[in-house]
């Protein structure tokens, strides 16, 4: 029996720029089970990136509660929060956010190094995950020497390498062709199914919808509909 991995209750996030206010999250309620692959869809600007940033502890909400594996990260001290995030969360940014001076293997090693793994061991594990995303041969390449799709796969490898319990991805197949997109999704799905990891994936890519256990549709800061083959009470 699995537990709730992500619990969002009445989440509100308001951005204030100058004297303008944008309500990016307007009362989000969502529970995601451990081992579940949840997709988040909705029009541009509806709050998807904001929601996953709050879930991953990158952004603080203005109201409401977000718990990960029963823990409220907003209440943690900053050092404790950094450690919790480093151990438990893998994040694939929409813009990849690779470190330009580090090669692919070094970029993928970073989460392991942060968690205290020795450099040599970290690089060996990083090379193995790069192999899984089809980039074994390119492990010594710098981000600038890689195509957008290859950089995206490095970013995905970096989110997986430290075996986090929660993997959050912002448009992880946006730069990938059909076949690479399916390969990456097969890998992510396998991690959810066989390793009981939880995945939250923002996407516009209808070609990968079939990989979802459930799909939450957002609009204007709200979740308007949650659908899928597995209702949460069955996933639990
Ligand atoms: N840093 C920011 N400052 C001000 N407004 C922002 C910021 N980030 C996002 N927004 C606004 O919040 C809303 C939701 O944005 P976002 O979460 O990025 O949506 P999505 O990922 O679904 O496209 C949009 O109206 C966007 O313009
Ligand atoms: Mg976005």
* Global pTM value: 0.94
Q: What is the pLDDT of residue 117?
A: 98
Q: What separation in Å is there between the alpha carbon of 44 and the centre of ligand 2?
A: 7
Q: Where are the domains of the chain?
A: 36-60+71-235
Quick: pLDDT tens for 102-145.
999 999 999 999 999 999 999 999 999 999 999 999 999 999 99
Q: How far is CA 58 from the centre of its chain?
A: 11
Q: What is the structure's pLDDT at 232? A: 54
Per-residue confidence (pLDDT) for residue 212, from 0 to 100: 95
| 146 contacts 136 by C-beta, under 8 angstroms | no
* Of 16, 42, 50, 54, best ligand 1 pocket probe by most atoms within 8 Å of the beta carbon: 50
Q: Does domain 36-60+71-235 correspond to CATH entry 3.40.50.300?
A: yes
Question: Is residue 46 within 6 Å of ligand 1 at its C-beta?
Answer: yes
Low-confidence ranges of the chain (pLDDT < 70): 1-2, 229-236
Rounded to the nearest 10 degrees, what angle do helices 148-160 and 104-114 cross at?
Answer: 20
pLDDT of residue 216: 97
Ligand 1 within 6 A of CB of 15: yes
């Amino acid at each position: 029996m699995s537990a709730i991995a992500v619990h969002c209750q009445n989440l509100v996030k308001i951005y204030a720029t100058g004297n303008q206010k944008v309500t990016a999250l307007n009362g989000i309620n969502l529970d995601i089970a451990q081992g579940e692959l949840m997709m988040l869809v909705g029009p541009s600007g509806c709050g998807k990136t904001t929601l996953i940033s709050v879930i991953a502890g990158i952004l603080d909400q203005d109201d409401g509660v977000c718990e990960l594996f029963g823990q409220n990260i907003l209440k943690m001290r900053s050092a404790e929060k950094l450690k919790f995030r480093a151990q438990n969360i893998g994040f694939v940014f929409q813009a990849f956010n690779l470190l330009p001076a580090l090669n692919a293997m070094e970029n993928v090693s970073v989460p392991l190094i942060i968690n205290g793994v020795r450099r040599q061991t970290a690089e060996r594990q990083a090379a193995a995950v790069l192999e899984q995303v089809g980039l074994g041969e390119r492990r010594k390449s710098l981000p600038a020497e890689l195509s957008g799709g290859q950089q995206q796969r490095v970013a995905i490898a970096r989110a997986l390498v430290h075996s986090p319990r929660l993997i959050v991805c912002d448009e992880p197949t946006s730069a990938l062709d059909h076949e690479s997109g399916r390969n990456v999704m097969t890998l992510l799905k396998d991690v959810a199914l066989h390793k009981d990891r939880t995945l939250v994936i923002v996407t516009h890519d209808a070609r990968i919808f079939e990989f979802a256990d459930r799909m939450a549709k957002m609009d204007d800061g709200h979740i308007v509909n949650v659908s899928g083959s597995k209702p949460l009470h069955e996933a639990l």
